Every structure is written in structure tokens, then in C-alpha cells.
Structure 1
Amino acid sequence: MFLFGFLTLWSVVHTEVTQIRLADSGEEWNLNVLPNPNSTGHLVFDTISSLLQHWPNTRYHSGHNIVPGIIPTGTLFYHGRGDPHTPTTSEWVATDPEFARLFCDSTDVPCFMHTLVATRPLRVLYFDGSSATKQPDGPIDTQDILTWGAVLPERQTVEWDYKRMHRLCDFGHMLGIDAYVRMQLNFEIMICNFTDGVEITTLSRLQDEPRFPDYAYSFAHSSEWHDAYPGETRIQLDLTHLISLYDVALAPSLISHRVGRDRRAHRVFGIDKRDTEAVIARVRAMSWSPSQSGIDWRTLFQAIRDRYATRLEVLQSTLNATDEDDAARRAFGSLLTTLMPYRLHSAVPPPVGSGNAWAAPVFRLCAETHTSFIGSRESTLTASEKLLLNAARETSREICRTLVGMWAAGALELRSSAKIPGSLVAKWKSEVGRLMDWLGWSVWVKCRPACASEESCHLPGAPFSMEKWNVTEPLCVRLFLPYSGWPDIP
């Protein structure tokens, strides 16, 4: 009776927002057509949604984006070192003092902390992923393109990092680039000139204390401030001119290197010379004037993610319940709720037949809601914005195709029966799992069971867990005394 009540409410209370004729839907809105296995729109969507966030960029450590941005006037940075000298050329700074403090190694070396401030807006390029981690398995690939004109894993070591910074600064000098932003456990900035655009506000000698354990754990704690959206907000990115190596038109040579590989194995290594030159040319031609479209892409992507992330997680959990009838009832209720804005009054299962073409108008409305207006202005968008539009379209489309297909199948069953069969519940479970794996959103990577109130759920990452950093299993750790839970720190 509960399900019949839902169906009655479904057919009565909602208003038809727009009339979408079935004849107009065609093959494009066929609920049975899976996405192209080589499509990358969902990968662009997730990497852009994850920019400047510690958690997803630790999980997917090999970045694929080069993004221009601005550090506003008045932003503070920190530079720790073992002497009181102020650099006059290129050097690293951190956005948080906890990171800068680590560069004072031990009680054998005094610790001097420089606090700097941006005296004007600084132009930066940001490399996503765990891009400050000196490991030859992908995190530095995108930097290598600009540094050496080729990906050279043998140079992705600590010994080459100063040379990399100097080469990047030389590359960016004629382009007006002031600095480069990278992430390890926290965010660092390679300032190209300490005498241009920044000034020292304080130079302090700190107390001589060892790095471990207090400062190391404090550093890890500070990374959590930037775990999730909106991430590190002191860097303002311009998505309208970003470059993505998941752009198949820009780097088609990488398509074959992704075939059959888990996403965590995706990297830029394998890009051919022509594509490398195309990427360099795009960076050299990069505009520093924002697009006139006015589209807030980051907020758009987050709105789509917010709409579905928790609902998909709950739906998956519901379908895993041991009581199959209860799982079916609650899952169908969740589908009705999620699809509420798109369930047109005219979309009713036919009295006979088993196809789902009758639900195509719902699929289309769901898939196009967030992007139809932007699509009508596509000719005014930058090349980067067109990539973002396609990413939003592909991601929304597959989410909606899956959920509408599940709802349509359930509605057909309930047309003549009081319950949904177990075979359909099993199919739903498989479909939700496939969709969530395809999306790959890091928001679903959690500590299970949840951590105690004085613990933090932490994703092991460089630099302290090098033998474990390439995993996706977060740990419950204590980042305050008494410390515990992190295997690589005593």
C-alpha cells in the first residue's frame, strides 16, 4: 500500500514544467545506451570539481589540469629556513605556517620564519594532483611538459626540484607568471622573484624544537582545512582558460594509455610530441582576462555534485539492506524524491508493453536542466568553457540515464504488482555501483566505521606515508596528543 500511495502522489501532485515530445527524443535519449568507454567528460567534471582540495588530489595523485589563477593583494605566505637570509630569486613558500615550519629540520639548525605578503595580484599557474610529490609515477607529469618539453620520470626526484622551479620560472617570465601552485600534503607556491610583487612583513627566529612528532602532526592537521570544497580559497582560479589533459581534442595520444586502466593509474606519461607542443602552445597563448560569459562553473559543478552525491550513497546503502522488500520500497521512494523536478505529468507507463521509451522525456529534462541555458550561448564560450560544458552535460546525462532507467523499470513493475521483484533489486544494485564507480567521486571515500570524536579521518599521502600513499583507504588518526594511528610517524 505504501508503494501505491507513492504512485498516486507521483501521478497527481507534480506540475508539468515543460512539454517534451517523445518524437523529439529519438536515439539521443535512449535509456539503454551506455556512455562511450573513451569519453572523459566525467573525468573532467571530477577533476575540476576537486581543484585546490587536499582529499581528492591525494587520492588521484597524478594531476591532469593546468589552471591560471590570481593570488590577491594582501595574501600572506610563509617561508621557513635554517638561516635569516631572505631569498632574492625563486623559492618555495607555503600558504600555512605549519607547512613552512617543516623546513627547519631539527634542533641542530635554528628556525627562521619569514612572513610575506602579496603587494599586488600575483599571476599563478596551478598544477592539480599531488603535484609537489617527487615520485616518478605521475604527480609531476604536467609540470614536465612545461619544464622539459617531455615527461621524464627519471627527473621526478628531489634532486631535480630546484632545476624544475628555475626552468618553470624562466618559461613563465615572458608570460607574466609570478608563481606556480602545487600540493603535497598541503599547498606550496613557487615564487619566482622574492623582490617583485611580495614583501617581507616579519622575520622571526622560532624556538628550536624537533620536527617530529608535534610539527609533523600539526602539518597533517592543517591539510585537513583544505580537504573538501571549497578547498584552498586564497588562490582564485580562472576556469574559463584552464587546460585539461583529459581533453581528447588536445591530447588524443593519451586515449590509448587509459584503456583498461584504473583511474588511479591515469597519468600524462605517454603523451606524444605533437600533443606536448599543443599543450605548450595553449599555455603560451593563455589569456589572463576572464571570459565574458559570466558563468560560475565551479558553483555549477558543485550544485550538480551536491544534488546527487549523498542521494547516490544512501541509495547504494539502501539496496544493500538484507530485507529485499524493504530495500525495494525505500529505494523506489528515493528515486521518486530525487527525480521529483523532472517527473512530467505526461510520463506514465503504458498499460501494456515493457519498454522504457515513455520515460525518455523525463531523462531529457533531468539531463538538460543545468546546462540548456549555457548551451544556447555556446558560441560565446572559450574553448575551456566548451570543455566544461561538455563535462557537465556528460556527467548529468549518465546520472539521469541511470536513475530514470531504474525508476521507469520500477514503475513498470508496479503497474500490475504490489512489489518489485528481487531480480530488479539486484539489477538496481549493480547499476548504482557501476554509476558510482564511473563517477569516482572522492566524497564517497570515508572512514568506515566513523572515527571517534577526537580522531580525524585522514587519507594517507606524501610525504609521510610513501609506501602507502598510493591507496584509497583512509585511516582514523589522532592529530593531537596523544598521537596515534598514522603508521609512518612514531
Structure 2
Amino acid sequence: MQLNFWLLLLLLTINSNAVQFNQVPLVGPDDWNLNALPSPNATGHLVFDTISSLLQHWPNTRYHYGHTIVPGTIPTGTLLYHGRNDPEVPTGREWAATDSEFARVFCVEPVECWLLTLVTTRPLRVLYFDGSSANKMPDGPMDTQDLLAWGAVLPERATVEWEYERLNRMCDTLGFDAMQLNFEVMLCNFTDGVQIQTLSKLEEEPRFPHPTYATFHSSVWHDHSPGETRIRLDLPHAISFYDTVLVPSLVSSRYGKARRDHRVLGIDERDVLAVLARVRTIPSHLVLSSNSGIDWRTLFQGIRDRYTIRLDVLQSVLVEDNSVQRAFVLIQTLLGPYRLRSAVVPPPSGSDTAFAAPVFRLCATAHTLFADSESVQATFTESEQLLLTAVRETDKEICRTLVRMWAEGVLALTRDPASALSPDLRLARKWRAEVDRLMDWLGWSVWVQCRPACTAPQESCYLPGVPFSMEEWNSTTPRCVRLFEPYAGLPEWYAGIFAYFFLWDGGGILTAF
């Protein structure tokens, strides 16, 4: 009774600045079960990764079927580029590139090459499509654009002949200044909000290797975080086709498929209407934050920063030397802010890991306590509810996996303190399988690396993908490529790829897909 009295008194005297109880998600004991795997239909981790990967070339090459649409802005004073074979300046709807290196490729030798440099004179409202969204391929990259243009996925229209019709329909109906696709900004009006800065006739030179390799240079700049920084996204109004509340019809079509095979094809009419309705709710004015004030991009990146390198090291420790002892030390470091003394004093006994549930809960809710409060959630957009769910589910599974391994290590040391977790191949294999499963489930593209790493100063790790490697567009194995003379690392057929990839036709570009 005395303990209960003092506990009650403590609860009643917490001041108003302390953490409120409604900030902790209302969950049952099963939610902190260390043996409960996430549902195979869970998509929070997919939302987390796609949002974390926006405007980054590497992950959107790897997962080139787009699943995210996000409004954003291109700030005043941003330079854009357009390459062509004549000095004519477009006046209607046309493409521009964010880097001059990419625009230069569209000057097809042996005729003249003109580079038009534009500058934005006001913030431009853009709608960004993730994945390899500029590539006219019938098997997925154009799906989300088709939905907004025609209300259906139409793979037969993933050709250049339909490119401007698709752009026209989106410009006419969506109310944006431009569509952001990969390296390209598809401007709805080449004279509104942008002005000509320079029109330059460039020196003629063979397309391969110099201009071609220059496109590699510019793509490498945006491979990983922070990615393309000249477009600022409005995440509180992001739309994801992994949102099972908004788009439930895609759940069954994804079941049993590898993530690289996920498509929007198969969405039903009701969900298409729901997506179009959500797009229409995007504010017409420039919005870069919500009433909640949460910086979602920073929150997502903070979690990735915390775990990316250390999970990679943990995997290598378990793969290379089966060292349970070293792995346990690293796990303790990972969980340092959450290892409650009350969980291990007195030492746990038996083989039940339930003693670690408070550690699991503290770890899994550390990044969302503020956002979980009712007062904050009352300010959320529907997109922010999805972002919060993505953080919850991702953080929870990372913590569940690591806390369970930590608890198993604690129990092993409790049973035999003298062993100090001496080599235990059985436990090492178990932990290695768990870390492999977790990293595969997360799917973070930063772990797809050249191994061994590229060491020459002129080399870069390159992930084959459209439009640079048409014959290897679905590869998951990167390679080291020399980006400066003497060039090396690309197959011989690449030297002529652009001759087949681009055809000139009266000032327009035809793609040979």
C-alpha cells in the first residue's frame, strides 16, 4: 500500500512540462512481444524508405517503379538547362534539365549544339514523381503519371509519341507549373516563371565518351542523401501508393513479390478516384511545412543516420568472424540510450526475454513520443498520419530485432558470466540470419555498394540503370567505373548506346524503347 501511495503521489505531482501519458501509444502487451514479426502486408517500412530516398538517383534507379507523388517548389534563381540542335527557343511546354551535363546529351552530332540556360524568376510549383519517372518504359516507371493524366495505367502509351500529350493533360488539370521527373523538369510554360539567361552555341564533339561521361558525373552528385537540393518537397502533402488506407487494392497484387516488382498496375477504379481526390486537396499556394511544425525529412534521416553504418558493421562482424562477443558490444552501443538499468537489476533468469520489453518500448517510441500526442496529431494532414505510421513501424522492427539479440546476450552472460560470450557458432548464425532479414526488410539502397570498394580516385561506384544501361536496367550489382580518361568499366556496347537511344526528328527527341 505504501508503494502504491507514493507512486500515486508521484503521478499527481508531475508538472505540466513533463511527458504526458497520452504521448505513449495506447498498445497492449502483445505490441512489445519480441517474438512478433511484422505483418507480411506491412508497408510502413516501404513508405519510410521511399520518402527517405526522394530526389536521390541511386535508390530511384534501384527501385525504378515509382510509388510516391510529392508537391514541391523550385526556388527563385534556380538554373535550368535545355539542349537542342537549333537556336529556336521553345515557347510552349517543354523539358529542361537540372544539370547542364544532362541537357548537353540531347545535342545530337554531327549537327549544331545549342545550350539554353534558364533561370526561375519566381518559385515554381512542381509535382515530383519518384522512381525512374522520365524513362519511357511500359513496365512501370510511367504508371503514376498515367493515373494522373488518364485515370488509368496505360503501358502502351509509355512511348515518346505520348510524352507531350501526357504532359498536356497533367498541366491542364493539375494546376502545377512543372512536373519533376528524374533529371528533368517538364515545364508547363517555357515563358512563365522562367526567363532566358543565355543561349550558347557549343563546340561540336562526339557524343561518346566526353558528354556521355559528363552525365555520369552529374548523376553521381545526386546519388545519395541529400540528393537533388534544388527542388524542395512538401512532405506533409506527399501521396504514396504504399498507403494501404488510400490504396488498399494494391495490397494483394504485391503479395509474394520482390519489392523491385511492385507496380501500380492493378489499382482499382475506386482507389484511382481516391488518389485523384487527394491530389486535388494539395494547396494551390506554396507550402513547405505543416501546422505540426515537424520536419519529417530530418526525422527520417536521423533514424537512418543512427542505424545505417552500424547495422552494416554488425552484419560484417557476424559474417566475417562469427564474433558474438564483438556483435554484443556493438548491439549494446546501438541500444545505449534505451538499456534501462531496471531491466537487468536484478539479473534476469531462465530463457524468457520478456524482461527486455521496457527496453523495446523505449527504443521503439523514442522518435515518436511528441508526434504521438493527441494535440500534435490534431494538426496533422492525412499524409503526416502516414509518415508517422512509417516511422513507428520501421523503428519498431529495428528495435525489436536488436533488443531481442541484446536480451539473448544478457541471458547467456547471466547463465555463465565466465564465458563472456565466448565463440558460439549457433548464436552467431542465429544473429546473422536476423540481421540479414532486418536489412533485407528495410531495403535501404545505401547498402548496395561496390564490394570491394572503388579505390582509384578517378573511379566511382555505378549502379546500372535506365537510361544509361538499357541492357542492364534491372541490375542490382553495382560496379566500379572510371569517369575520366582513360575510360574503363563499361561494356563495349555502351559506346553506341545513345545512337540507338536517341533519334533526332525536326527539333524533337524520339526514344527508341
Normalised by the size of structure 1, how large is the TM-score? 0.92
CA–CA distance in structure 2, aligned partners of residues 352 and 278 of structure 1: 53
Partner of 1:295: 294
Partner of 1:66: 69
**1:10-409, aligned counterparts within 5 Å?**
26-107=29-110, 109-172=111-174, 175=175, 177-183=176-182, 187-287=183-283, 288=285, 289=287, 290-322=289-321, 324=322, 327-348=323-344, 350-376=347-373, 377-409=376-408
Partner of 1:489: 494
Secondary structure of the 2:494 match is coil
Partner of 2:413: 414
Q: Letter of the aligned partner of 2:77 in structure 1? A: G
**Structure 1, residues 271-292: CA drift from partner, whole Å, max 9, x if none?**
1111111111111121243411
Secondary structure of the 2:471 match is coil
**How far does residue 19 in structure 1 lie from its aligned partner after superposition?**
13
**Structure 1, residues 9-43: CA drift from partner, whole Å, max 9, x if none?**
xxxxxxxx99999x987111111111111010000
Q: Is the 1:25–1:364 contact (alpha carbons within 8 Å) kept by the matching residues of 2?
A: no
Q: Letter of the aligned partner of 1:59 in structure 2? A: R
2:468 maps to 1:472: no
- Structure 1: tracts of 5 or more residues without a match: 1-16
Q: Is the 2:349–2:414 contact (alpha carbons within 8 Å) kept by the matching residues of 1?
A: no
Secondary structure of the 1:360 match is helix
Count of aligned pairs: 463
Secondary structure of the 2:469 match is coil
**How far does residue 210 in structure 1 lie from its aligned partner after superposition?**
2.1
Q: Letter of the aligned partner of 1:358 in structure 2? A: F
**How far does residue 464 in structure 1 lie from its aligned partner after superposition?**
2.5
Q: Which moved more, 1:126-135 or 1:209-218?
A: 209-218
Q: Is the 2:348–2:355 contact (alpha carbons within 8 Å) kept by the matching residues of 1?
A: no
Q: Letter of the aligned partner of 1:49 in structure 2? A: S
Q: Letter of the aligned partner of 1:259 in structure 2? A: Y
**How far does residue 351 in structure 1 lie from its aligned partner after superposition?**
4.6
- Structure 2: tracts of 5 or more residues without a match: 1-17, 496-513
Match of 2:459 among 427, 443, 455: 455
Q: Is the 2:56–2:223 contact (alpha carbons within 8 Å) kept by the matching residues of 1?
A: yes
Q: Which moved more, 1:278-287 or 1:435-444?
A: 278-287
Q: Letter of the aligned partner of 2:378 in structure 1? A: S
Secondary structure of the 1:352 match is coil
Q: Letter of the aligned partner of 1:265 in structure 2? A: D
Secondary structure of the 1:204 match is strand
Q: Letter of the aligned partner of 2:461 in structure 1? A: C
2:451 maps to 1:425: no
Q: Which moved more, 1:133-142 or 1:48-57?
A: 133-142
Q: Letter of the aligned partner of 2:67 in structure 1? A: H
CA–CA distance in structure 2, aligned partners of residues 249 and 26 of structure 1: 25
Q: Is the 2:363–2:399 contact (alpha carbons within 8 Å) kept by the matching residues of 1?
A: yes
- CA RMSD after TM alignment: 1.8
Q: Is the 2:83–2:106 contact (alpha carbons within 8 Å) kept by the matching residues of 1?
A: yes
**Structure 1, residues 180-239: CA drift from partner, whole Å, max 9, x if none?**
0001xxx11000101211110111111122211110111111100000101000000000
CA–CA distance in structure 1, aligned partners of residues 320 and 220 of structure 2: 32
Large movers: runs of 4+ above 6 Å: 17-21
**Structure 1, residues 337-383: CA drift from partner, whole Å, max 9, x if none?**
11000000101174532111110000000010111111112121111
Q: Is the 1:25–1:360 contact (alpha carbons within 8 Å) kept by the matching residues of 2?
A: no
